[in-house]
Amino acid sequence: MRFQFLAAAVAPALLVPMPALAQDHATMDHSPEDQTAMNHPAMDHAEMDHTAMDHTGMDHAGMVHGGEGSGTSRLPANEKMNHGAAINLGGDATLMLHGFVWPVYTDQGGPRGGDKFYVQSMGMATLEKPFEGGKLTLRTMMSLEPEMRHDGYPNLFATGEVAYGEPLVDRQHPHDLFMELAGKVEIDLAEDTSAFLYGGPVGEPALGPSAFMHRASARYNPEAPITHHWFDSTHITYGVITAGVGGTQWQLEASAFRGREPDEFRWNIETPKLDSWSVRASFAPSPAWLVQASYGQIDEPEELHGGADEHRTTASVHYNDGRGLSAMAAFSAKDRQPGDTLTAWLGEVNWDLTDHHTVFGRIENVKNDELFPDHHDPLHDMPFRVTKFQAGYAYRLPIGPVNVALGGTVAAFAKPDALNPYYGDSPIGYTLFARFSLGD
């Protein structure tokens, strides 16, 4: 794997000099009630006594943020991201570091399955600098997954993007080297209201729920959802500008972005453009709940579907009790122009039973017409509705500043009988993993 594991292990350290972006004001570990008030970036910096802040008492082992999602998305205020390290740079500027290395072995059964050992990785650096009346945040997020083959890893019934000039079917593509390279400026409008402008050459538009690797409900699941290209495939987009306004419990935002998904050459930054748009509304009735709805018009997202645009509608409900139970339920509809409307449902849960034991699961139901890309196949472009049932377990233990999780998953599928000759009667997939993370 060309030293992938070793390189991934030092990825967070390599990110130290890189700037970064975060969703809301830095908060320490507050109560759920405090998290609701702190979740929104509308802090009155003009009245903050920065000279009286005791920076020497900062927890350099980590900093907790509540309600943050990927890009500009929101999560319940109870959903806290614990950055692995928080470093005071002086002048009220703070650098936060976070990342993981995730060796995985998977074995996907049936005639179209396969097995593979691979390593997922992510490193993130976030720089926050408050100023009078607002805050500047910069973020970079990177991965060494381009060290994988272009066709990624086996994942039955997953589709989307290409590798070696062929459509990816029953496989999940790797992430790009640059997953985010963006900034955000927030301006206080009133006591509980602020406006923001977010953007950069690599970012995430206001479309769909927070990306799966940033949701607590999917924290220990090593597999990307097979519905990824229905809900959060735009989480790596080359060229994004988002403007929004929000309060403690709500947020409205709109984006212009590049609709084409990343190509298979994942080391570079592709040419940004703004040919697509989206809008999203989020509402948090309490610290435990977050509801979002979004709509986007995406210009030719798939390389092998030239001339086909996509109108995507998503809705999701997120729950986090602040004590170790997190869940999400979501719906998406992809309306291809020209083409049919394909729908998907997703439910996932993560439950920390104790300080060491976690159980998690995911149920997905999707209507997919990309399982047979060969134009000469009689099943080409025929939609099939498939359901995936997945359950997993992780044993968690801290080792110094590193959090370790050891575990595995097993998955089964419900599908039409017409797919039995290709997938077998009852294919089973399983994974074994060891997750090493700086922060959550």
Element (H, E) at 12: helix 11-14
Instruction: Give pLDDT, residue 306.
Output: 77
SS (H, E, C) 324-377: CEEEEEEEEEEEEECCCEEEEEEEEEEEECCCCEEEEEEEEEEEECCCCCCCCC
The alpha-helical segments, DSSP class H, found in 29-89 are 32-39
Instruction: Give pLDDT, residue 8.
Output: 39
Q: How many residues does the chain have?
A: 440
Instruction: Give pLDDT, residue 153.
Output: 97
Q: Please state the φ and ψ torsions of residue 212, each to the nearest 5 degrees.
A: -60, -35
Tokens coding 303: 């390389």
| Domains (range + CATH), the chain | 4-438 (2.40.160.10)
Residue 219: CA atoms inside 13 Å, Cβ hemisphere, count?
A: 31
CA-closest candidate to residue 423, choices 431, 412, 432: 412
Could you read off the pLDDT tens digit of each residue along the chain, which spans 440 residues?
443 433 333 333 333 333 333 333 333 344 444 444 334 443 444 344 433 334 333 343 455 667 889 999 999 999 987 777 889 998 899 999 999 999 999 999 999 999 999 999 999 999 999 999 999 999 999 999 999 999 999 999 999 999 998 999 999 999 999 999 999 999 999 988 999 999 999 999 999 999 999 999 999 999 999 999 999 999 999 999 999 999 999 999 999 999 999 999 999 999 999 999 999 999 999 999 999 999 999 999 988 777 899 999 999 999 999 999 999 999 999 999 888 999 999 999 999 999 999 999 999 999 999 999 998 999 999 999 999 999 999 999 999 889 999 999 999 999 999 999 999 999 999 999 999 999 87
pTM of this structure: 0.84
Instruction: Give pLDDT, residue 402.
Output: 93
Instruction: Give pLDDT, residue 49.
Output: 42
- The helix/strand/coil state of 157 is strand
Element (H, E) at 8: helix 4-9
CA-closest candidate to residue 99, choices 408, 439, 376: 439
Provide, for the chain, the percentages of residues in helix, strand and coil under a 3-state DSSP scheme, each rounded to the nearest 5: 10, 50, 35
Q: Please state the φ and ψ torsions of residue 229, each to the nearest 5 degrees.
A: -80, 10
**Cβ 262 vs Cβ 270: under 8 Å:** yes
Instruction: Give pLDDT, residue 29.
Output: 42
Residue 408 Cα to chain centre, angstroms: 20
Instruction: Give pLDDT, residue 440.
Output: 75
